[in-house]
Amino acid sequence: MYHKPKVSIIIPCYNSEGYLQKAVDSALNQSLQELQIILVDDGSTDKTPVLLQQYKMQDNRVEVIIHPENRGLGPARNSGIEIAEGEYLFFLDSDDYIHPNGLEVLYEYANSGQLDILQAQYIVHKDGKKKVMPPDLVSLPEPVSGVEYFNSGFFIEPKACVKLWRTDFIKKHNLHFAIGYYEDVAMVFEAIARADKIDNILFPIYHYIIREGSITRQSVTKTHWEDFIKNLSEIQHLFMRAELTGKNSAFVAGYFLYLKELSVMALKTGDPEIINETKEFVSQMRSKYGKFLQGNRLLSFPKRFLLKRSPFLFAVLKKAYYEKIKKADI
């Protein structure tokens, strides 16, 4: 007799033979057994496809999708969503892993409240150190709508892989990931804006491994910048919803902090053309939406002042500050 999975885990893999075992094993060995585990090979040129087929032969909960060519993390996740049958979705990257009881805890919590999105904590592993994120995540008295969540008093975590998503909600609204870097930024903002019921759980289910070669360690290129600005442009249409742009909204605060990060990224490229285009884009956004920062309780006065004055100026000052510290350490 067929039993619908409680959770579909989507794991994109690209040339992951050296480290995917820990990720996949952490999914297979979950205390919650009613799972669909979708492994997406995204055009790997190493032994990854062979390993994925072996997992499929060993466990009938495993399904494998093959992309003949490398299309990126976003399209790989989108392919997984298309065949997902679980009540909820969970995204796991092939170089990370999850707590053995994580999905059972998240599923029971989300299912009891019929949540669209459940935000969990995660542990960042970098250079032998660990840090629980987001540090300011708070327990909510009860589930809230997306509009209420944007006004909840903390910044929005843009990572899709540290949340549990109701599958029907994702498919109903045709939510999908972008092509290229930073594929989940626009998707997460839009999903929250559309959600009826969101909640937080103070439980670090996800282990996020920052390794050599990961995006966070790569030098910034024009492609990184183009993909990031594309995602920020996608978010703009949400500003048409007045209830999302109130003076206390984390939506606006988060967006302007992203404008600052875009500026930092442009400065790191050292490309005069990119820097000038960034200045123009940031200036347009500041002129259109800067008024919504007035009195925002989510930002300290210095941050609010600098972001309202110019996110690009904020980035210049931030870059100069860290360069000064670096010189002092030498």
Q: What does the pLDDT look like over 24-53, one tens digit per residue?
A: 999 999 999 999 999 999 999 999 999 999
Mean model confidence pLDDT for the chain: 91
Q: How confident is the model at residue 76 (pLDDT cuts 50, 70, 90)?
A: very high
Q: Mean pLDDT, to the nearest integer, of 110-133?
A: 95
Alpha-carbon span 270 to 290, nearest angstrom = 26
Alpha-carbon span 79 to 278, nearest angstrom = 33
Provide DSSP, 26-74: HHHT-S---EEEEEEEES-SSSHHHHHHHHHHH-TTEEEEEESS---HH
Which structural domain, as residue segments, surrounds residue 273?
219-329
Q: CATH code at 45? A: 3.90.550.10
The answer as to whether 310 is a domain residue is yes
Looking at residue 220, its pLDDT comes to 83
Q: How confident is the model at residue 216 (pLDDT cuts 50, 70, 90)?
A: very low
What's the predicted TM-score (pTM) here?
Answer: 0.91
32 closest CA partner among 86, 84, 113 = 86
Residues 303, 169 within the same domain: no
The answer as to whether 1 is a domain residue is no
Q: Mean pLDDT, to the nearest integer, of 291-310?
A: 87
Residues 234, 283 within the same domain: yes
Residues 29, 155 within the same domain: yes
Residues 59, 150 within the same domain: yes
Residues 85, 60 within the same domain: yes
Residues 207, 233 within the same domain: no
> Which residue(s) pair with 11 in the sheet?
39
Alpha-carbon span 149 to 229, nearest angstrom = 24
Residues 129, 195 within the same domain: yes
CB-hemisphere CA count at 13 Å for 6? 16
Residues 139, 232 within the same domain: no
Alpha-carbon span 211 to 110, nearest angstrom = 31
> Which of the listed residues 213, 228, 255 is the one where a domain comes to its end?
213
> Which of the listed residues 147, 178, 213 is the one where a domain comes to its end?
213
Residues 270, 207 within the same domain: no
The answer as to whether 114 is a domain residue is yes
The answer as to whether 290 is a domain residue is yes
29 closest CA partner among 4, 58, 53, 2 = 58
Domain count for the chain, please give it.
Answer: 2
pLDDT exceeds 80 at position 254:
yes
How many helical (H) and strand (E) elements, i.e. helices and strands, does the chain have?
12, 9
> Which of the listed residues 194, 213, 232 is the one where a domain comes to its end?
213
